[in-house]
Structure 1
Amino acid sequence: MISAKLREGICRLGKSLFDRGYTHGASGNISVTLDDGGMIVTPTNVSLGSLDPAALSVLDAAGHLIEGPPPTKEVPLHAAVYQTRRSAGAIVHLHSTHSVAVSMLPDIDPAEVFPPLTAYYLMRVGRTALLPYFRPGDPKVAEALASLGGEYGAVLLANHGPVVADRSLESAGQAIEELEQTARLFLLLRAEKPRLLTPSEASALRNDPAGSVKPNAQGALAS
């Protein structure tokens, strides 16, 4: 039995992201792992701003739909992330404007998309990789994600959008918001020479994050 609290939490996060412009139309998807190895995920062609707690898609551990409407076509992406990052409990994938814009730039380092701009980027996200373009729903994205070895806190899919996984629905939501705001800062400062956090400052944040922010040292998708 999937709790009403979990269903409502997915819908609440979706509406919050939609209402504040992090996603638009029927784009984006959210999933949470279940104790039996399955997942509950947002359905296809439904806006994150109008999700119904009673109409979410439930998949078993083999990926078969056992309850609700057809799921997002990005199920292979979600499944690949969960297989790569065993401790991940939730995934948020958006088509957020600034992150997509960064993914389209010609001179981005695919191994380290963003420099250490802010403390909260390092604490909530960690590191971000860039993967090549795949058609939405393409199962080959699973191979590409697996090739990262689970060492990144977030991934940008070129010309598509960001994917963030973390231990809980709440922390995954916070991480993808931080990622989008970092992308916005990156674009604003692209022609400037901003002060970056030093290697020692960045290392201290990754190894001993302050306050209640407790990602692992490598980021949300790290092994």
Structure 2
Amino acid sequence: MSETKRREEICRFGRSLFERGLTPGSSGNISVRLEDGGWLVTPTNASLGFLDPARISRIDAEGRVVSGDPPTKEVPLHAALYDTRRNAGAVVHLHSTHSVALSMLPEIDPRAALPSMTPYYLMKCGLTALIPYYRPGDPAVASAIMGLAGKYSSILLANHGPVVSAETLEAAVFATEELEETAKLYLLLRGLNPRFLSPEQEKDLVKTFGLALPGSAH
């Protein structure tokens, strides 16, 4: 896919996420890795609903901004995922309501922020890590993500929101949406003693679909 098409794709998915209320105002950011090792990323203070393809920031393989508007302050967290997940081709970070709410609950396991509630959650997100709160743009968030050693494609930033990587932008968007819907399910069922997937059902999904789940949660 050409760089022009990738820019258009970022704008198309950004608008879709914005129009469905998954990241309000100028919150959230999207990046896509390019063949030359650089990447495209949405600008700072830009609404995902009103992106201009020509103004999307372009960063080279050395991390230098070479064109476009100044990039999002969250560049370090995107870079950390690309550095630790070699197959990642895109990263999506949102401020989606239910995922943020989930990140604030006291009982959340940092190694598995959500239980195995549905097959599609495991298939699209795997397990979700929770990392502690850092102020937006703090380079320390990159260190926290690096500390996960690339084991998680799906991460919650405490009191902030989800950040998800995948091989393509479409896959990253779909996984982020699945995470948000599963967080919503968890909040709806909290305290009602719901029936989650059994270990045997998890193992069947792992075997059938070749899932790579972090071993620490099993």
Query: Between the two proteins, what is the percent identity of the paired residues?
Result: 61
Counterpart in the other structure of 2:123: 123
Question: In the TM superposition, what is the alpha-carbon distance from 1:216 to its structure 2 partner?
Answer: 4.2
1:189 partnered with 2:175: no
Counterpart in the other structure of 1:90: 90
Question: Does the Cα contact within 8 Å between 1:15 and 1:49 map onto a contact in 2?
Answer: yes
Question: Does the Cα contact within 8 Å between 1:30 and 1:90 map onto a contact in 2?
Answer: yes
Alignment-mate amino acid for residue 127 of structure 1 = L
Cα distance change of structure 1 residues 75 and 58 upon mapping to structure 2, 3 Å threshold: same
Task: Supply the distance in 2 between the matched residues of 1:59 and 1:40 (Cα, whole angstroms).
Answer: 6
Q: Which has the higher helix share?
A: 2
- Structure 1 stretches lacking a partner, 5+ long: 210-214
1:170 partnered with 2:165: no
Task: Supply the distance in 2 between the matched residues of 1:115 and 1:19 (Cα, whole angstroms).
Answer: 29
Question: In the TM superposition, what is the alpha-carbon distance from 1:2 to its structure 2 partner?
Answer: 5.0
Counterpart in the other structure of 1:212: none
Question: Does the Cα contact within 8 Å between 1:207 and 1:217 map onto a contact in 2?
Answer: no
- 1:13-92, aligned counterparts within 5 Å? 13-92=13-92
Task: Supply the distance in 2 between the matched residues of 1:139 and 1:208 (Cα, whole angstroms).
Answer: 38
Taking structure 2 as the reference length, the TM-score comes to 0.95
> How many residues are aligned here?
214
Counterpart in the other structure of 1:218: 213
Question: In the TM superposition, what is the alpha-carbon distance from 1:205 to its structure 2 partner?
Answer: 1.4
Taking structure 1 as the reference length, the TM-score comes to 0.93
Q: Could you give the per-residue CA deviations for residues 57-102 of structure 1, whole angstroms, max 9, x where no partner exists?
A: 0001111110100000000110001001011000000011000001
User: RMSD of the alignment, in Å?
Assistant: 1.4
After the TM superposition, which of the residue ranges 104-113 and 1-10 deviates more from structure 2?
Answer: 1-10
Alignment-mate amino acid for residue 53 of structure 1 = P
Q: Could you give the per-residue CA deviations for residues 112-135 of structure 1, whole angstroms, max 9, x where no partner exists?
A: 111110010010001001000001
